[in-house]
């Protein structure tokens, strides 16, 4: 698995376009990378059918690092 660089709020679309009203120490789950094409919708969730009994929550908000990896932020 490729390592991704540590993202900051300075990489976020909302910060760069002065749309963020949060004053946090680190990026939040709303993080979206700032692309030249603008804000792109997140990738659709995929169905995964499991045979075993569910023991964890079905879904959780991705971390900012996971958001960056989803959108292909280079290392």
| Residues making contact with ligand SF4 (CB under 6 A) | 9, 12, 14-15, 20, 22, 24, 27-28, 30-31, 64
Closest by CA position to 48, among listed 57, 40, 58: 58
Q: For residues 18 and 48, which CB has a smaller minimum distance to ligand SF4 in the complex?
A: 18
CB of 55: closest distance to ligand SF4 in angstroms? 30
| Tally of CB atoms within 10 A around 35 | 12
- Let me know: does 70 contact 42? Beta carbons within 8 Å: yes
Nearest distance, CB of residue 56 and ligand SF4, angstroms? 25
Q: Nearer Cβ to ligand SF4, position 25 or 52?
A: 25
Q: How far is 70 from 58, CA to CA, in rounded Å? A: 19
């Amino acid at each position: 698995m490729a390592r991704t660089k540590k993202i900051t709020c300075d990489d976020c679309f909302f910060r760069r376009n002065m749309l963020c009203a949060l004053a946090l120490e680190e990026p939040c789950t709303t993080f979206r990378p700032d692309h030249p094409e603008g804000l792109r919708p997140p990738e659709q969730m995929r169905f995964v059918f499991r045979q075993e009994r569910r023991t964890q929550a079905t879904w959780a908000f991705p971390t900012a690092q996971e958001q960056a990896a989803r959108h292909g932020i280079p290392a």
